[in-house]
Structure 1
Amino acid sequence: MSFGSPNNPYGQPQDPQQPYGYPQQQPGYPQAPQGVPPQQGYGYPQQPGYPGYPQQGGYGYGVQPPYANWGQRFLGTLVDGLVFLVPYILVIVGRNNAALSAIGGLAIIAVAIWQLIQEGRTGQTIGKKALGIRLVKEETGQPLGVGMAFVRRLAHFLDSLACYLGWLWPAWDSKRQTFADKVCGSIVIKTQ
């Protein structure tokens, strides 16, 4: 009984004419059509120009998304701040009541985590949704993801440096980005 060459553990004869990546013709299995490029494995970016592969993300070549203006971004942040008002009042009122103060503190943490998850998954917090704007990746137009949304929140300290100039930067920037947006590769666009 022969199993083929020691370099071929499956015992199938090797055909030097067969292109690499295609299985050899087996009885009962269709042969891969000629001229069709092999599929890429998982984790590899899609290459443009391959037929049958949809192009991923973005807004298309030369198409600019409608950026949210500074006023929309400011009002969205203001609405997000108002969401924290009720739990904050519980903390203030509960200064003499440890249980009420703890409930208010936990509510603040819960709202902050929920807002972060919403922003990462959908690109919208309560304030952004109310103002019709969305946070997305500049390259793909997709939401950032929870981890990157958290990194963006941490990067907002850059906006507060130099007399809070970064918070005002979207008023005159061509892409309406804060410094944190520039670092994280994100933009805020209009959804309506």
Structure 2
Amino acid sequence: MSFGEPNNPYNAGPPQNQPGQPGYGYPSQAPQGVPPQGYPQQPGYGYPQAPQGVPPQGYGYPQQPGYPQQPGYPGGPGPRVASMGRRFGARMIDGVIIGIVYAILVVAGVAGSADSISDCDPSSAAYQSCVNDASGDFAASFGAVLGVLWVLTLLYEWLLIALVGATLGKLAVGLRVVKADTGQKPGLGSSFIRWIIPIVGSFACGIGQLLVYLSPFWDKSGRQQGWHDKAAGTMVVQN
């Protein structure tokens, strides 16, 4: 049977491509700017491209988390919470500084009272009265020394924390006190609250003050805030 016979139903000959109909073989070249119609596009090899503004997720080590995000520290990790060892060291340095000032004042007061007692004549009938007066002067001088020491402690702790953010002891070990929600210096109000709470605790034979300074050990917030820090809204951080 041949394709040339007139009655042959297959006389149409080999199939021809009709206009608008897809042909066999490779698809025809698509017009410029129009993607070719054919096999579905396979994703390319290599690393996937992330959309603009989105950080790529690729191979390698995952990003390590930084410090816990704290309120008031937008766009970056939170501060490094001060260790209790450094805080203890800062407190010891401050204690030594205040102790030296206290010793100087006491020695000056005692020396003045001793001179007053030495001026009393033991053979005089007024000797006992002279000694009593000298003892009264010593008590007054000692009270004045305590008052001056209290004022100096107030100014030392309160003003330095408020205006600088650290006492000399904290500066020596690289610590500072900041507002827990902003990271700024505490200011006069918060610094005074932070100072007065341990002082009030000291009236109970010093036990309350000791508990205040130990209270960061029991803080479960991760900031190691003492009771005085929580009341003042502050925290101690490392530089």
Q: 1:77 aligns with which of 77, 91, 95?
A: 91
Q: 2:179 aligns with which of 129, 137, 148?
A: 137
Deviates more, 1:77-86 or 1:158-167: 158-167
Matched, 1:152 2:205: no
> Secondary structure of 2:79's partner?
coil
Q: 1:165 aligns with which of 211, 214, 230?
A: 211
Which residue number in structure 2 is paired with residue 127 of structure 1? 169
**Counterparts in 2 of 1:40-79, with a 5 A limit?**
58-60=72-74, 63-79=77-93
Deviates more, 1:137-146 or 1:80-89: 80-89
| Distance (Å, rounded) in 1 between the aligned partners of 2:197 and 2:209 | 16
Aligned residues: 135
| Distance (Å, rounded) in 2 between the aligned partners of 1:104 and 1:168 | 25
Is the contact made by 1:88 and 1:105 (CA closer than 8 Å) also made in structure 2?
no
TM-score normalised by L of structure 2: 0.48
Measure how far apart 1:119 and its partner are: 0.9
Measure how far apart 1:184 and its partner are: 1.3
Measure how far apart 1:161 and its partner are: 6.2
> Secondary structure of 1:189's partner?
strand
| Distance (Å, rounded) in 1 between the aligned partners of 2:212 and 2:160 | 24
Deviates more, 1:108-117 or 1:85-94: 108-117
Q: RMSD of aligned C-alpha atoms?
A: 3.1
Which residue number in structure 2 is paired with residue 19 of structure 1? none
> Secondary structure of 2:225's partner?
coil
Which residue number in structure 2 is paired with residue 3 of structure 1? none
Structure 1 residues 165 and 108: CA distance shift in structure 2, 3 A: closer
Is the contact made by 2:190 and 2:234 (CA closer than 8 Å) also made in structure 1?
no
Deviates more, 1:111-120 or 1:132-141: 111-120
Is the contact made by 2:193 and 2:231 (CA closer than 8 Å) also made in structure 1?
no
Measure how far apart 1:189 and its partner are: 0.2
Q: Identity of counterpart residues, as a percentage? A: 30
| Distance (Å, rounded) in 2 between the aligned partners of 1:107 and 1:161 | 20
Structure 1 residues 74 and 103: CA distance shift in structure 2, 3 A: same
Measure how far apart 1:129 and its partner are: 0.3
Which residue number in structure 2 is paired with residue 36 of structure 1? none
Cα deviation, 1:33-83, whole Å, max 9, x if unaligned, reads: xxxxxxxxxxxxxxxxxxxxxxxx921267321000111111111111111
Matched, 1:186 2:234: yes
Could you say which structure has the larger radius of gyration? 2
| Distance (Å, rounded) in 1 between the aligned partners of 2:89 and 2:223 | 18
Structure 1 residues 84 and 188: CA distance shift in structure 2, 3 A: same
Deviates more, 1:96-105 or 1:140-149: 96-105
Structure 1 residues 163 and 135: CA distance shift in structure 2, 3 A: closer
TM-score normalised by L of structure 1: 0.58
| Distance (Å, rounded) in 1 between the aligned partners of 2:238 and 2:165 | 11
| Distance (Å, rounded) in 1 between the aligned partners of 2:86 and 2:183 | 19
Structure 1's unaligned 5+ residue stretches are: 1-56
